[in-house]
Amino acid sequence: MHKKPVVLVTRKLPDAVERKLAENFEAILNPEDRLYTTDEILQIANDVDAILPCHTEKFSAETIAQLPPRVKAITNFSVGTDHVDLVAAKQKGVIVTNTPDVLSDATAEIAMLLMLGAARRASEGERMVRNQQWQDWSPAFMVGKQITGKRIGILGMGRVGQVLAKRARGFDMTVHYHNRKPLDSSHADGAVYHATVEDMLPEIDVLSVHCPATKETTGLLNRQRIALMNSNAILVNTSRGAVVDDDALVEALKTGVIAAAGLDVFNGEPDGIHPEYRKLENTFLLPHIGSATEETRDAMGFRVIDNLNAIFNDEEPGDRVA
């Protein structure tokens, strides 16, 4: 009887995904959803053919070097791959995949929520109601920023950025974007291209970050670039915390360089988040839930299974990144 490939699943996945994994593979599941240490992953890896991690597990060059030869693939349950050293994986011959496309709608929704929440002071207002601090109404009470008709700048006009642009047009927003290269007209749909981030920042009212975390984009939004934004501007990040210099953003929010920020991702998340974000009234904060819909999480899981099936059928996986 042909033995099923053994797959280590590092986190609790949706029930439908785990059932399908169990049909196709010998799946080592994590029903308690406990965060494995690197040492634990390496120990279990001696008996597995592939690892199915999330962005919460880090595969540095050192960790990948210690993976046993039996491990054929790291099939990520995430679109981002900054937690995996892709160069080291490629050198070792370990296949790496991700789950693009399927989380674009959900992430764009969260970007809209963050934009609206930051603009309309939603965190501040929600706390006021919960803590019974809402005493009165007046024309000057809880006045925020209107989004309709404003200018949105999208940093990284990939799949998520393009979906967000469509949603923003529903608010009659003018779409600006910076990308490594301009999109063809059918994908740009009238959006204004800026060849540099510096060119775009003074021209927008909302900046939404949708570029991956790479060596080139780490700390991209530093003090100098944030200072180019106008004082009524809002910064939204649903991509990766590493794109933002936290000290610079906190300072800008405190001193009125920009008006507000809506953040779903952070450097050092969850425990190492910059403590000042929690203290600021002009931040709208979420716990990295950009893809957290039932539909999207199921779709991500099935996409991973498609990649695993291809790998163990000696076919090229559709979402290979290394």
- What is the Cα–Cα distance from 81 to 321, expressed in whole angstroms? 8
> In 3D, which of 194, 252, 208 has the Cα closest to residue 228?
252
Q: Mean of the pLDDT values across residues 264-275?
A: 97
pLDDT at residue number 56: 96
Q: Work out the average pLDDT over 19-47.
A: 97
DSSP for 52-63?
Answer: E--TTS-B-HHH
* Interacting residues of 298 by C-beta distance below 8 A, sequence separation 6+: 14, 16, 17
Paired sense of beta strands 50-52 and 73-75, if any: parallel
Assess whether pLDDT exceeds 80 at residue 50.
yes
pLDDT of 210: 98
Domains of the chain: 6-102+294-312 (3.40.50.720), 104-285 (3.40.50.720)
Position 35 scores a pLDDT of 96
pLDDT at residue number 236? 99
Instruction: Give the catalytic positions in this structure.
Output: 240, 269, 288
Radius of gyration of the CA atoms of the chain, in A = 21
Distance CA 115, CA 117 (A): 6
Q: Write down the pTM of the prediction.
A: 0.94
Mean pLDDT of 265-290: 97
Which residue carries 């740009």 as its tokens?
188
What confidence category does residue 1 fall into, taking pLDDT thresholds of 50, 70 and 90? Answer: very low
Task: Report strand pairing: 151-155 vs 174-178.
Answer: parallel
Instruction: Confirm if 151 and 173 have CB atoms less than 8 A apart.
Output: yes
Beta-carbon contacts of residue 185 (< 8 Å; ≥ 6 apart): none
**Over residues 243-269, mean pLDDT:** 98
Helix residue spans in 120-180 (DSSP H): 122-130, 159-169
